[in-house]
């Protein structure tokens, strides 16, 4: 066969259209070289590239146009079209763009910036409309780091969140998600809730400010803050656990990941005694957190064991990966604070969730939508897959 013919059929979708078109082609001496079909809001677009002898192009075009007319659809036929060949030198990526309300200007600017850096957009598809609109640009090009930097800088100006990732099996094969707890999985800071219960909230806040100014490190600030809790009755821990407010979408995120075969672990600079009931409720696979010393039913004002600090969080991620036999390159870390930076850097994909600017700048991607389950879209999981995995479950 020395010729090709590209046919693009479009019109109202209904059962049997594809079968009818190819039944008509079954009477011609051609072969299918490539095919793509998509349905958008009830409108079907079907593109097929045929290989055939040049002398048969005219007859085949006539058959296609006649069948399209019978189906009440439009068709365009282009002789001599070439089949796309993948350039092994060009990398393939997925650029995920998310926003509560996605403005056309953001789509235009993302596409323009990709083109300016030599990236071709091969396909665009919507993967979610709730709780955010999320679309994926599938592209090919060369310098991923340069593109990621360019799009990340543009994202806040456009009011969107953007993630640039390698395409391929690793994107869908990531199997361990490790999350920070305070201000990530939950909306609260556990130490502040305990301090409020003990009547020392202002004193604890002052120590926290000193730590943020770099005057003391996390471990020292934790010891000083916990010391102020001395004498607090142990039942206050249970009371605090009941006061915790999950971040919107947290249950959906954990439930969906579990049902899709991911491992989910929590790591926190907070306290196991408060977090453990929540971890059990969410059925996570692992938990690392600090432990409070309790003697005769009251807090002593000391922590026991190794303190889970910035380095400890990274170490926990690596230990979880070893425990479950998952390469660190196929892990996802989610956090919001400076003590999450080492963990985010070590993970295959580090996600800054509603994070401080320094964390957003250092992470692979940032999510500023208030819904934790938006993270699922960065993993290539569509809204339809979430709903399918969550069939019968409650809202998250």
Task: Give the DSSP letter of residue 215.
Answer: S
Looking at residue 45, which CATH number applies to its domain? 3.30.70.260
**What's the token pair of residue 312?**
């400890």
**What's the token pair of residue 383?**
């809204």
pLDDT at 87: 58
Identify whether 84 is part of a domain.
Answer: no
Per DSSP, the residues of 69-129 read HHHT-EEEEEETPPPP---TTSEEEEEEEEESS--HHHHHHHHHHHHHTT-EEEEEEEEE-
Q: Please check the confidence at residue 393 and state whether its pLDDT lies above 70.
A: no
Catalytic residue among 34, 53, 59, 182: 182
Residue 268 sits in the same domain as residue 355: yes
Domain end point (choices 148, 167, 186): 167
Q: What is the pLDDT of residues 321-347, one digit of tens each?
A: 999 999 998 999 999 998 999 999 999
Percent of the chain with pLDDT over 90: 70
Identify whether 395 is part of a domain.
Answer: no
Average pLDDT score over the chain: 90
pLDDT at 361: 87
Domain that holds residue 73: 3-79
Rounded CA separation 251/8 (Å) = 43
Q: Please check the confidence at residue 34 and state whether its pLDDT lies above 80.
A: yes
Per DSSP, the residues of 162-181 read EEEEE-SHHHHH--EEEE-I
Catalytic residue among 161, 180, 285, 340: 180
Domain end point (choices 19, 49, 79): 79
Active site residue 336: no
Question: Angle 333-97-375 (CA atoms, 0-180°, nearest 5)?
Answer: 30
pLDDT at 394: 46
pLDDT at 173: 59
């Amino acid at each position: 066969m020395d010729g090709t013919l590209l046919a693009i059929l479009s019109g109202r979708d209904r059962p049997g259209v594809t079968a009818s078109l190819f039944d008509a082609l079954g009477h011609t001496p051609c072969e299918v070289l490539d095919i793509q079909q998509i349905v958008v809001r009830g409108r079907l677009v079907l593109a097929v590239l045929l290989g055939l002898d040049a002398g048969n192009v005219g007859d085949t075009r006539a058959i296609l146009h006649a069948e399209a007319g019978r189906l009440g659809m439009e068709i365009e036929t282009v002789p001599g079209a070439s089949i796309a060949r993948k350039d092994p030198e060009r990398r393939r990526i997925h650029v995920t763009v998310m926003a509560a309300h996605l403005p056309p200007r953001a789509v235009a600017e993302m596409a323009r910036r990709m083109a300016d850096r030599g990236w071709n957009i091969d396909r665009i598809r919507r993967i979610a409309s709730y709780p955010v609109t999320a679309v994926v640009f599938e592209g090919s090009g060369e310098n991923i780091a340069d593109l990621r930097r360019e799009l990340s800088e543009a994202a806040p100006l456009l009011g969107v969140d953007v993630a640039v990732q390698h395409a391929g099996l690793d994107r869908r094969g990531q199997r361990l998600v490790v999350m920070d707890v305070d201000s990530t999985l939950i909306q609260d800071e556990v130490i502040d809730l305990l301090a409020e219960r003990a009547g020392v909230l202002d004193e604890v806040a002052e120590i926290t400010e000193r730590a943020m100014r770099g005057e003391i490190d996390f471990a020292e600030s934790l010891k000083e803050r916990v010391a102020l809790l001395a004498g607090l009755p142990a039942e206050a821990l249970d009371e605090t656990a009941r006061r915790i407010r999950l971040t919107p979408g947290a249950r959906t995120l954990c439930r969906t990941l579990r049902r899709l075969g991911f491992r989910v672990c929590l790591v926190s600079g907070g306290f196991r005694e408060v977090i453990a009931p929540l971890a059990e409720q969410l059925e996570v696979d692992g938990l690392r957190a600090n432990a409070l010393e309790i003697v005769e039913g009251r807090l002593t004002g000391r922590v026991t064991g190794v303190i889970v600090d910035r380095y400890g969080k990274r170490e926990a991620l690596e230990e979880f990966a070893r425990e479950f036999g998952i390469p660190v390159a196929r892990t996802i870390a989610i956090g919001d604070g400076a003590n999450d930076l080492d963990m985010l850097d070590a993970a295959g994909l580090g996600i800054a969730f509603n994070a401080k600017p320094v964390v957003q700048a250092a992470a692979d991607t940032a999510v500023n939508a208030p819904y934790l389950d938006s993270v699922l879209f960065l993993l290539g999981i569509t809204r339809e897959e979430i709903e399918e995995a969550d069939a019968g479950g409650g809202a998250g």
